[in-house]
Homo-oligomer: A and B are copies of this chain.
Amino acid sequence: MGFSSSLSSYSISQLEVSKVARAIGHPARIAILELLFKKDCTCNDLVSQLPLAQSTVSQHLKELRKVRLIHGLDMPPKTIYSLNKQAYSQVQVLLNSFFQC
């Protein structure tokens, strides 16, 4: 990222909050989280409900996995994606505590 050179100037919690915020900072990723909240999906399931190409959706899934908001179960050639409910509520708590004080 553009600020990687002065990463150390920010606190762990500032970095953490901004990292998850950035991860959900795209409408497609919000849409993916909402769809996965309803039920587990394969990548193709998601592609058919989003205005994006398969490779693009796969990329967004990768971003969400990177911050552990979702979980991919490998069943080749399929991957079953699901919400990581634990991480999900941790993020909820994290954002809440940021906005609380």
So how many copies of this chain end up in the complex? Answer: 2
Report whether B25 and A29 are in contact in the complex, using a CB–CB cutoff of 8 Å.
Answer: no
Q: How far is the CB of A12 from chain B (nearest CB, A)?
A: 10
Say yes or no: A30 contacts B17, CB within 8 Å: yes
- Contact: A31 with B17, CB < 8 Å? no
| A48 CB, min distance to chain B CBs, angstroms | 13
Judge whether A92 is part of the interface by a CB distance below 8 angstroms.
yes
> Which 8 pairs of residues, A with B, have the shortest CB-CB distance?
A22-B25, A10-B27, A9-B51, A92-B99, A21-B25, A21-B24, A6-B51, A18-B27
7 A-B contact pairs sorted by A residue (CB < 8 Å)? A3-B28, A9-B51, A10-B31, A18-B25, A18-B30, A21-B24, A95-B99
